[in-house]
Chains A and B, each alone.
Chain A
Amino acid sequence: MNKFKKYINNVNISRFRFWFQIFAFIIMVYGGFLSIDIGENLPTFSCPYIDKGGGTCFLMGLQHRFTLPIDQLISFRGLAVLTSVLFFVSWFIFFNKAWCGYICPLGTLQDWFTKLRQKIGIRYSNYSEAKFKKLKKIKYILLGLLILIPIFMANSIPFIGKLSHDWAVPFCMICPGRTVLPLFQGDASQLVIDYGSKTKMIFTVLGMAITGMFFAGAFFKKRFFCFFCPMSALQFIFKKLGFLRLIKDGTKCTKCGDCYRACDMGIREIADDIESKDIIKDDCMMCFKCVAACPEEKCLKVNFLGKTIYEATEEGFYKRQKGKK
């Protein structure tokens, strides 16, 4: 048992993650061809605009379900919203925010861009601490809007009235997942500006502008879009229910900063915070690169239902460093 544990702790997590991401990408993007349908309330960007995807992103259903008059939303029809949230949570609790780090196809795509940039030898960009703090708020604003806009489609706003049907699924309209992921099935139909109405036109212009920025941004900045992702914000609300946890023992931390430098999201607290035990922050995608980069014995741990499944060890650290050389 100890041998097995040692083997796991010495493992190159980045290599494991790379192959796992490819597997998850195939399931999420091409799953339909294999008659795989994981579900409709997945806590990841399994985009419904992909014709034969292996599942459906929860945000699409959430936006649909909130298009209800308030009286219905607080009556039995509201139960449908509640049930879908329960389904979402039941998927989410297994992997917690590792849905972002290991399964999200849009995240995987950004990691591939990073790999390409590294191969070419271009250095990456990072946000300053002040910018980072400002930008991370955007995902909460987007989460709020994607709930409020559908509600205002079914309920009147004073002096404005109801929003038209063209406002449907507002986040999907601007999400690069809608425009980029169908390309992997040879479907370019989302790369258009819809002149059907002014609202649709504005949304599709925004969508294409964000797509353009996504390609350039993801090339220079690791996980560029994840800072703005409302799914990440929604997941963070339920993070305490997750079976998978990232635990830090502050007493063993020397604040060397290796974990911070390894973090693709640039979360400073992972190195600075020695008080918190549960170290998952809202931008964390649970890739566990920080655990792999930590040289301190048992300082950072990955627990599943209270059991440690992967932890930082000196031996593992040196082995990985050796492997790099």
Chain B
Amino acid sequence: MKKKQKKRIIAHGYSRGLIIISVIFIAPVFAENREPKSFHFSLTSPAEKKQKHESEHAAKPVRKYWLSTAEKDLNLEGYLLNPLGEEKELKIEKKEEGWLVSFNTPFKDSEDHGANNVYVVDKKVVDKTLYIRTAKWITVNHSCGWGHGHKHDKIRHSALSFEKIPFEIVPQVLWDDKFHIRTKTGDNLKVFVYSYGKPVENAKVTVVSEKDWQKTMITDENGGIEFQMIRDYYERNWERFHTSHRSRMIVEAEYEINESGNYEGELYNKIIMSTSMPWKYSPALEDYASYKSGLTVGGIFFILTLGGVLLYRERRRKPFLELDFEKKPRKNKKNKNE
């Protein structure tokens, strides 16, 4: 009896222990994760799966971008910085498919022909943490038809930062002096992280490629990191390989500050800032072009032309004939008939 009781007590103890363990370790898995996720801009709504890429050669009078999140309760503030560094109006709309921002771009060669920075900022307190989430998109408003008159104006080509933005990614250079985007596989890209226009040291920057390869780096004292774009586009069939294929990459940054405060009546003791900036890149020339073949073709035609000219000259060279005045001149056919 005593033995049986003992066994029952032990079994009871085990089951109670199991329940406690499951509460501690398993329950959080099923609990609602209230931590807001970072978001980014996209050309397609969150419902659409297909990726689209913007062309800097196709100028549009109105630019529209979707936010990648399906969250409905966002408190978004929008900012637009034109190529001259002036703040312009950005329209934010809550649609059924998600959040849509839009703005007008002059459809002509005007002073603000160049790179525009589009931002949305969302702030909210969750579990005593203030989350400041920023999404950034850079769009190059350009058409070759408008000309490249600003190609020597270095300031116009540099990427801008905006002192009103709590947290943002600023690329060093992503386009050339003609506003053509030429980010290629294998390029070394440098980006900086700024908070209200000042560099942020020790921010965590993650670069995510098209097929979700990731690399995380920590910013230096200038807020900068450098990384090499990896090749992420392979086609087994040559016919299907596109040299102009655009792969998407998203650069994300995160930074935590242990700071207490009050945001709209809610107390927090920590701030987590996050930001994102999507960009695109194409296969490098080395992936699909060959110097060896080029120089071989050029060389062959050079030799053929050279040989052709020399041969032609050689064939036209008349044999040396010594004039012999004593010899009688040969009669031609006509004379013979006569």
Contacts and interface: CB of A to CB of B under 8 A. Distances in A.
Interface stretch (B81-89, B115-123, B251-259, B294-302): B294-302
A165 B291 contact: no
Contacts of A80: 145
A217 B305 CA distance: 7
A192 B145 contact: no
A311 B299 CA distance: 44
Interface string A185-222: 00011011111110010001100111111011101100
Interface string B140-158: 0000110111011000000
A209 B301 contact: yes
A268 interface: no
B30 interface: no
A296 interface: no
A258 interface: no
B244 interface: yes
A208 B297 contact: yes
Contact of B289 (A37, A65, A192): A192
Contacts of A17: none
Interface in A20-57: 32, 35, 37, 40, 56
Contacts of B288: 194-196
Interface in A75-131: 80, 125
A191 B294 contact: yes
Nearest to A220: B309
Contacts of B243: 194, 196-197, 200
Nearest to A64: B144
B215 to A, nearest CB: 27
Contact of A208 (B238, B294, B304, B306): B294
Interface in B204-262: 238, 241-244
Interface string A220-233: 10000000000000
Interface residues of B, number: 32
Contacts of B27: none
Contacts of A191: 291, 294-295, 298
A61 interface: yes
Nearest to A125: B309
Contacts of B285: 189, 192
A217 B308 CA distance: 10
Given A192-B285, A196-B241, A216-B305, A209 B297 contact: yes
A80 B147 CA distance: 11
A56 B303 CA distance: 32
B293 interface: yes
B304 to A, nearest CB: 8
Given A209-B301, A212-B297, A213-B305, A56 B290 contact: no
Contacts of B297: 193, 205, 208-209, 212
B65 to A, nearest CB: 25
Contacts of A56: 148
Interface residues of A, number: 35
Contact of B306 (A165, A179, A216): A216
A192 B288 CA distance: 10
A164 B75 CA distance: 45
Contact of A212 (B241, B244, B300): B300
Contacts of B144: 61, 64
A188 B301 CA distance: 18
Contacts of A211: 298, 301
Contacts of B289: 192-196, 204
Nearest to B293: A193
B291 A213 contact: no
A197 B242 CA distance: 7
A191 B293 CA distance: 9
A220 B305 CA distance: 10
Contact of A64 (B145, B152, B299): B145
A196 B305 CA distance: 28
B148 A40 contact: yes
Contacts of B305: 212-213, 216-217
A204 B294 contact: yes
A212 B302 contact: yes
Interface in B157-189: none
B318 to A, nearest CB: 15
Nearest to A217: B305
A64 B144 CA distance: 8
A192 B291 contact: yes
Nearest to A219: B306
Contact of A216 (B147, B242, B293, B309): B309
Nearest to B299: A212
Interface in A225-274: none
A76 to B, nearest CB: 12
Interface of A: 32, 35, 37, 40, 56, 61, 64-65, 80, 125, 165, 179, 188-189, 191-197, 200, 204-205, 208-213, 215-217, 219-220
**Which 10 A-B residue pairs are closest in the complex by CB-CB distance?**
A212-B301, A196-B243, A216-B305, A212-B302, A193-B293, A192-B289, A212-B298, A208-B297, A216-B306, A209-B301
22 contacts: A37-B148, A37-B149, A37-B151, A40-B147, A40-B148, A64-B145, A65-B145, A189-B285, A192-B285, A192-B290, A194-B243, A195-B293, A197-B243, A200-B243, A204-B289, A209-B298, A209-B300, A210-B301, A211-B301, A212-B297, A212-B305, A216-B302
Given A210-B301, A211-B301, 18 more contacts: A37-B149, A61-B145, A64-B144, A179-B298, A191-B295, A193-B293, A194-B243, A195-B289, A197-B243, A208-B294, A208-B295, A209-B301, A212-B300, A212-B302, A212-B304, A213-B304, A216-B302, A219-B306
